[in-house]
Amino acid sequence: MKLPRTFYRERDALVGARELIGKGLFTSIDGVRTAGIITETEAYLGVHDRASHASGGRRTARNEVMYAAGGVAYVYLCYGIHHLFNVVVMEKDEPQAVLIRAIHPLDGKGTMLARRGSKTLTTGGPGTLTQALGIRTDHNGEDLTGQRIWLEDIGVKVTKQDLIVGPRVGVDYAGEDALLPYRFRIAPSQLLR
């Protein structure tokens, strides 16, 4: 069952980042379905978070979709190479998002391998998971209750004790905000017990 639009609009990024662990991330790109269980996320809390693209109320062509009402994809290029997929949360003009950093593959593993051009299926990084799932910057602004990219509650239960919580990756420029415990992870073995 797809997550309803209210799921995205009634949670800030910190709550959303915790609650998205264990949810299914599905794509239907070029007529091929792929899916994985979300195993790692990071929260970006908007204008007051110096690690956020919307820090200080910054509004650009790149981050404009962060200002949309929750339930859309924010996909941007990192280092001009990696397509990074974020879930926009909160109401319109409250620019918060959750970066999906890793998944445990479920469906379409052969397609994921082909997209990755690899014999080993790696989806343990935000750039590798988007490549495996076929998500690109063309999907920026995509409705997450639609037919191409969506999230589902697949019945995986994650307890607070199962989560590994720590600082985000690669945001040293954010000063003290780089140390905030806004990264959430779980080992796939914990999910599949």
- Note the residue count of the chain: 193
The CA-CA-CA angle for residues 170, 175, 177, to 5°, reads: 80
Q: From residue 5, how far is each of 91, 95, 133 by CA, in Å?
A: 11, 16, 22
Q: What CATH superfamily classification does 5-191 receive?
A: Methylpurine-DNA glycosylase (MPG) (3.10.300.10)
DSSP conformation class of 21: T
Q: How far, in Å, CA of 1 to CA of 26, rounded?
A: 11
Question: pLDDT truncated to tens, each residue of the chain (193 aa)?
Answer: 999 999 999 999 999 999 999 999 999 999 999 999 999 999 999 999 999 999 999 999 999 999 999 999 999 998 778 999 999 999 999 999 999 999 999 999 999 999 999 888 888 899 999 999 999 999 999 999 999 999 999 999 999 889 999 999 999 999 999 999 999 999 766 766 5
pTM > 0.75: yes or no: yes
- Helix, strand or coil for residue 22? coil
Parallel, antiparallel, or unpaired for β 82-89 and 96-107? antiparallel
Element (H, E) at 82: strand 82-89
With beta carbons less than 8 A apart as the criterion, state whether 99 and 37 touch. no
